[in-house]
Structures are given as structure tokens and as C-alpha cells.
Amino acid sequence: MKLRAAVVRVLALSRAGGRALRGGGLDGRDRKYFLALVRFEHEAGADKEAIMEELRLYMKEASRKNVRDVNILTSWLHGVVYEMAHTEGFAVTVDSLAKRLGHVASRKELEESLAFLKERKWLVPTGEPDRYRQNDLQFEVSNDVRRIDYQKALLRFLEIAKHRLTDDVSEREFQALTIAVPLAKVPVIKEKIREFVKELWAELDGAAPPETVVHILCCAFKVSTDPEST
């Protein structure tokens, strides 16, 4: 009964538009979940299978513990090793990591990162030799310029990206947009990028047994000064 009442409430609010939904106490993932539920029940000709998959992804995201621990940002390698452990059939050892990552990381870096992830219990043993799984966590999107470690991590990925430009186009994707915008739209651009990262994670995570690790780096910055500063 509570769910049906919530659906009716969201249906009424959705007819009034997104602003009313936010004002009605629903925002972010919850708002998207209930709107998808409304589409499933009431939209003529709706793709039921696609909506069910969308609902499944929202539920999976909600089941994960949200982590604000900024220590994940202390090394660019932590996130890489964390995701390597998630690839199918991967033995999480320094030798295996070194073989798959090549020259981008030293053995010392790999040893330290793997020890860190185990100590924090972000990687937990499965019971099989050298097999670890990711704990049920979701790291929050961050953009804290005050953390020098995070700046260093981003710089390292930018350096790696520079060398990937010569990869076959089937292996990588580089896109760029330079556009004049009102200053008021800069926060909108930032928010859109954050939403894109979260939505892409939700779509890709758990879709199929993972086989490789990809880094997706989205950045937006001014290439000109503001009018009042010139």
C-alpha cells in the first residue's frame, strides 16, 4: 500500500514537472527510480525490459555503502587495483598486476596499493587462493582541489592518456568540445559531468563479467579569463 501510494504521489508530481518532484521530497536516485516505476506502470508502449534493467541498476546502487573516505584518492593506483580485482578470474597478486599494467606502475607501488586496499577491507578474500572481491562500496564523486594527492592522481592519468592517443581507435575514445557559455552555465556543466559519471557507472557495473579496466576522465575548465578580470 505504501508503494502504491508513493507511485500515485510521484505520478501526480511528475505531471507537474521535475521541480515539483524535488519540492515533494524526492531527488537524485530516488526520484529517477520512482519515475521509472511510473513509466513502467503507466506509459503506453513502454519498453518494459529496458525499464526493469534501469530499476535493477538503481536498486544495486542503493544497496551499496556510500563511502566518503578520501584516502582512496591518496594514490592514482588504488582505484586501478580495486577494479582489476573485479575482472573475471583475476588472481590478485603483485606479479599478476605487474603483468597486466606493464610499466605504468612499479612493483613497490603495486605492493603498497594492494596492502592498502586489503587493510581498509575494500578488497576482501573470497576463500579461493589469491582471489579477492570488491566490498559493497560506492565512492562518492569528488573534486577537492585542496587535496594535493588527488591533483597528483589526475595528473598521472592525464600523463597516461597522452600516451594512449596513438592506440588504435577501436581501443580508445577521445572527444573534446570548446564552446562559449554564460558564466551562469559553468555550474551546470560541472553537475552534468558528475551525473554522467554516476550514470555511466550504474550502467556498466555488473552488466556482464568484466574483462578489462578503463579509465574515463571528464574535465571542464576555462580557457579564457572572465570579462571582469581583464
**Of the candidates 166, 148, 143, 160, which has an alpha carbon nearest to the alpha carbon of residue 220?**
143
pLDDT at position 40: 73
CA atoms within 13 A on the CB side of 35: 16
Cell triple for 60: 544495486
For residues 132 and 124, give the distance between their C-alpha atoms in angstroms, rounded to a whole number: 5
User: Where in the sequence is the domain holding 6, given as residue range(s)?
Assistant: 2-63
The residues facing 137 across adjacent strands are 65
Residue where one domain finishes, among candidates 63, 89, 116: 63
Cell triple for 38: 511510473
Residues 53 and 96 in one domain: no
pLDDT at position 69: 55
Mean pLDDT per 10-residue interval, the chain, length 230 residues = 46 45 50 71 74 67 54 84 91 95 93 94 90 77 68 91 94 94 94 87 78 92 81
pTM: 0.67
pLDDT at position 197: 85
Cell triple for 62: 542503493
Q: Are 40 and 47 within 8 A, CB to CB?
A: no
Residues 83 and 48 in one domain: no
Chain Cα centroid distance, residue 157: 16
Domain count, the chain: 2
Q: Is residue 198 assigned to a domain? A: yes
Q: Which helix (H) or strand (E) holds 66?
A: strand 65-67
